[in-house]
Amino acid sequence: MSNYPHPIIAREGWFYLGLAFALAFVVQMLLGLVWSWPLWLITLFVLQFFRDPPRHVPLGDQYILSPADGRIVAVMACTDPYLQRPAIKISVFMNVFNVHSNRAPVAGTVRQIVYQPGRFFNADLDKASTDNERNAIVLENARGQSLTCVQVAGLIARRILCYTKVGAQLTPGQRYGFIRFGSRVDVYVPPESRVIAAIGDKVSATTTILAEWNQT
């Protein structure tokens, strides 16, 4: 099953892509390729950063999917700071070469949205989860099970975008947000979940399974 209701280039990038292209084009017309080629490289970087390819959604309501592309930097027992209960935190670090579109890890109803201003430490560091600017959504599935998915700004990132709202029904892999220029997404799952992801794993939004709900 696929979930792809948007263009292959994220809408958040059209302004930056148009600006970079226009600047490179004007410089080439006025000064030539020798002066414009660095700007064309920047244009290519902007193009790859804002790419947003379609993704295959694994079938099965037991799966908790990765909400982002990147690398697993943390799998640890902790307390979910939004639901105030024991949890396992699975953190995905996105570098500037990863797709930065964020997608729902499970089907469910948005029960809470909590935005917290903060600092801009390197998102690869664990303290980014508690100190950086972040936006959390709590999702509850049809069984009444819930998890928290947190967009965390990074060292370069300066804008978290979240398009969903409380009461919205999200489907697995549905696009709900975007973080510009390097960041992190933390997923707090119930401690009884079966975690599949491990530190160092490279993951892809929607197609990679991070964990499974406890079905008993």
Following DSSP, what letter does each residue of the chain receive, concatenated? -B---S-SB-GGGHHHHHHHHHHHHHHHHHH-HHHHHHHHHHHHHHHHHTB----BPPS-TTEEE-SSSEEEEEEEEEEETTTTEEEEEEEEEE-TTS--EEE-SSSEEEEEEEEE--B---TTSTTHHHHB-EEEEEEE-TTS-EEEEEEEE-SS---EEE---TT-EE-TT-EEEEESSSEEEEEEE-TTSEE---TT-EE-TTTSEEEE----
Cα separation of the two ends of the chain: 26
Check if the beta carbon of residue 184 is closer than 8 Å to that of residue 91: yes
- What residues act catalytically? 183
How far is Cα of residue 183 from the mean position of the Cα atoms in its chain? Answer: 8
